[in-house]
């Protein structure tokens, strides 16, 4: 809700202020949207990891401790992820209509347009999975193995020393499949909803 809603808001705001819309507008709008969305996401991300890894069922009260300890690493993961996700999606959809298809966008049915949204979203998901994967690994490890009173910078340095550069890429193949599929369906659902209420699909 925060990511897509704020993206639409900032994309229009920045486009109106600059008088044009291009990749810089998409990058700025997506970064601004994710910055705010992560403030809402961070406590739930922390609780998810604690439930999965460290908190016994009889110590649920500990879920509310240090809910924002991973916010800065989360920004490092999610802001580049979302900048690539939205900007590459906009440009990929533009290229699909310009290079792969033979007619202007408005000459295709809404079903065909949402199909393009799914394809563009899947490809964009591959890019953003690669860009954000090292930070994703680090966020998970910080939430799982942070020490009381330890700063985020100290935790990052300690964990990196343990796992090295190669460890930051563990599980990338699985994440590409997961994020590609997830992002493709996100754009499909989002644009299907827009069509259902009479709005145009996203992208040129």
pLDDT, tens only, 142-201: 767 667 777 778 888 888 898 999 999 999 999 999 999 999 999 999 999 999 999 999
pLDDT digits (tens, 9 = 90+) for 127-147: 989 988 888 888 788 767 667
**CA distances (Å), 90 to each of 39, 87, 101, in order?**
25, 5, 16
Helix ranges (H only) for the chain are 2-18, 23-53, 71-95, 110-145, 152-167, 172-196
Reported confidence tier of residue 113, pLDDT bands at 50, 70, 90? very high
Residue 102, phi then psi, degrees to nearest 5: -105, -5
Q: Does residue 202 fall inside a structural domain?
A: no
Task: Give residue 58's pLDDT.
Answer: 62
201 part of a folded domain: no
Q: With bands split at pLDDT 50, 70 and 90, how would you rate the model's confidence at 107? A: very high
Mean pLDDT over 13-31 rounds to: 94
What is the rounded CA–CA span in Å between residue 58 and residue 114?
46
Residue 127 domain flag:
yes
Cα-atom radius of gyration of the chain, to the nearest Å? 19
Read off the CATH number of the domain in which 108 is found: 1.50.40.10
How high is the pLDDT of residue 145?
67
Q: Which residues contact 131 (CB under 8 A, 6 or more apart)?
A: 80, 81, 84
Task: Give the tokens for residue 94.
Answer: 């533009």
pTM of the model: 0.79
Task: Assess if residue 21 is contained within a domain.
Answer: yes
- The pLDDT of residue 193: 94
Whether residue 132 is contained in a domain is answered as: yes
Residue 204 inside a domain? The answer is no
pLDDT value of residue 135? 84
124 within domain boundaries: yes
pLDDT in tens, 54-91: 666 666 666 677 788 778 878 887 898 899 999 999 99
Q: How many domains is the chain built from?
A: 1
Q: What pLDDT, on a 0 to 100 scale, did the predictor assign at position 11? A: 95
In which domain, by residue range, is 147 found?
2-196
- Average predicted confidence (pLDDT) for the chain: 88
């Amino acid at each position: 809700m925060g990511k897509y809603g704020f993206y639409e808001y900032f994309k229009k705001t920045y486009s109106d202020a600059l008088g044009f819309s291009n990749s810089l507008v998409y990058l700025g709008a997506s970064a601004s949207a994710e910055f705010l969305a992560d403030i809402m996401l961070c406590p739930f991300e922390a609780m998810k990891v604690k439930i999965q890894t460290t908190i016994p069922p009889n110590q649920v009260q500990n879920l509310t401790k240090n809910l924002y300890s991973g916010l800065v690493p989360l920004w490092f993961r999610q802001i580049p992820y979302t900048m690539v996700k939205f900007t590459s999606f906009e440009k990929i959809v533009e290229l699909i209509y310009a290079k792969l298809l033979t007619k202007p966008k408005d000459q295709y049915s809404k079903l065909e347009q949402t199909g393009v949204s799914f394809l563009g979203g899947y490809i964009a998901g591959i890019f953003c999975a690669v860009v954000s994967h090292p930070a994703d690994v680090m966020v998970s490890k910080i939430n799982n193995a942070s020490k009381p009173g330890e700063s985020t910078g100290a935790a990052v340095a300690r964990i990196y020393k343990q796992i090295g550069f190669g460890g930051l890429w563990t599980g990338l193949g699985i994440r590409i499949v997961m994020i590609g599929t997830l992002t493709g369906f996100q754009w499909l659902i989002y644009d299907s909803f827009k069509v259902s209420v009479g709005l145009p699909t996203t992208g040129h």
